[in-house]
């Protein structure tokens, strides 16, 4: 079945460092891909998405490119801030004509040190 | 526009009891999905409702059920609670569902089973 694999955390970086969180997927067809973020005590927020191959999603300085040839959707940010500390989830929408089912990776906890 | 609301935010139950959780979607959204989040299993899809009909279902036992009302509000019920049901239950709403439809998550209901 469809699945998402992302790098295990926690990931600890200093402020202004470059961030990469790896994500690969297994899917039939052409799923949409997402990155969600969960701040402490809150629900999930959509960070960015890409709906077809070679699309680049971007938001708040984060970017991810839908790479069909490597089945990857790695999250990157050039200069992280303390406020980026959160849990990040890579996800895909399961191909289903009936409706919306999202499959999530296990999540990667990110700590940014001042 | 108000976001997705979930009630109650916290709940403590004992084994064998049943529980009902409530979710109010964003106004105008017709699709409501439920997810279970645990440290071990991560985020897992429970089911999705659209126009009062269950349209998608995850791999959970029949003890987990739900329904959706004509105003799109949704409830989730878990009967005969087990210790392993302790989790954060997240509700998400979207306009119509579908692979490109953005889901908006509520803050979740934290259920503890003792």
- How far is the C-alpha of B85 from the C-alpha of B37, rounded, in Å? 10
B46: left (phi over 0), alpha (psi -120 to 50) or beta: alpha
pLDDT tens per residue, range B1-13: 679 999 999 999 9
C-beta atoms of B103 and A105 within 8 A: no
The answer to which of A6-10, A46-50, A77-81, A82-86 has the lowest mean pLDDT is A6-10
What mean pLDDT comes out for the span B37-66?
Answer: 92
Task: Determine the pLDDT at residue B113.
Answer: 98
Percent of chain B with pLDDT over 70: 96
Distance CA B77, CA A87 (A): 28
Separation in Å, CA A37 to CA A20, A53, A88, B85: 14, 22, 5, 24
Dump pLDDT digits (tens) for B16-51.
999 999 999 999 999 999 999 998 888 999 999 999
- Give which of B26, B43, B57, B87 to mutate to test A binding, by max A Cβ within 10 Å: B43
At A77-110, the pLDDT tens digits run: 999 999 999 999 999 987 555 556 788 999 999 9
DSSP string over A58-96:
EETTEEEE-BTTTTB--EEESS--GGG-EEEEEEEE---
What was the pLDDT predicted at B72?
95
Q: Which residues of B touch A (CB under 8 A)?
A: 4, 31, 33, 35, 42-45, 48, 50, 55-56, 58, 90, 92, 94, 97-108
Residue B73 has a CB neighbour count (10 Å cut-off) of: 16
């Amino acid at each position: 079945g469809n699945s998402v694999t992302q790098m295990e955390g926690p990931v600890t970086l200093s402020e202004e460092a470059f961030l990469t969180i790896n994500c690969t997927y297994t899917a039939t067809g052409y799923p949409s891909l997402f990155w969600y973020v969960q701040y402490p005590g809150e629900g999930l927020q959509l960070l960015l998405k890409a709906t077809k191959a070679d699309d680049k999603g971007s938001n708040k300085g984060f970017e991810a490119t839908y790479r069909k040839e490597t089945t990857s959707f790695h999250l990157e940010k050039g200069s992280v801030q303390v406020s980026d500390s959160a849990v990040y989830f890579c996800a895909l929408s399961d191909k289903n004509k009936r409706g919306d089912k999202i499959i999530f990776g296990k999540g990667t906890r990110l700590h940014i040190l001042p | 526009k108000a976001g997705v609301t979930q009630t109650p935010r916290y709940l403590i139950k004992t084994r064998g009891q049943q529980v009902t959780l409530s979710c109010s979607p964003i106004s105008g959204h017709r699709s409501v999905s439920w997810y279970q989040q645990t440290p071990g299993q991560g985020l897992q899809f429970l089911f999705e409702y659209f126009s009062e009909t269950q349209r998608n279902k995850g791999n959970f036992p029949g003890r987990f059920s739900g329904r959706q009302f004509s105003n799109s509000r949704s409830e989730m019920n878990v009967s005969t609670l087990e210790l392993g049901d302790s989790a954060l239950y997240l509700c998400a709403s979207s306009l119509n569902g579908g692979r490109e439809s953005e889901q908006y998550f509520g803050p979740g209901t934290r259920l503890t089973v003792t």
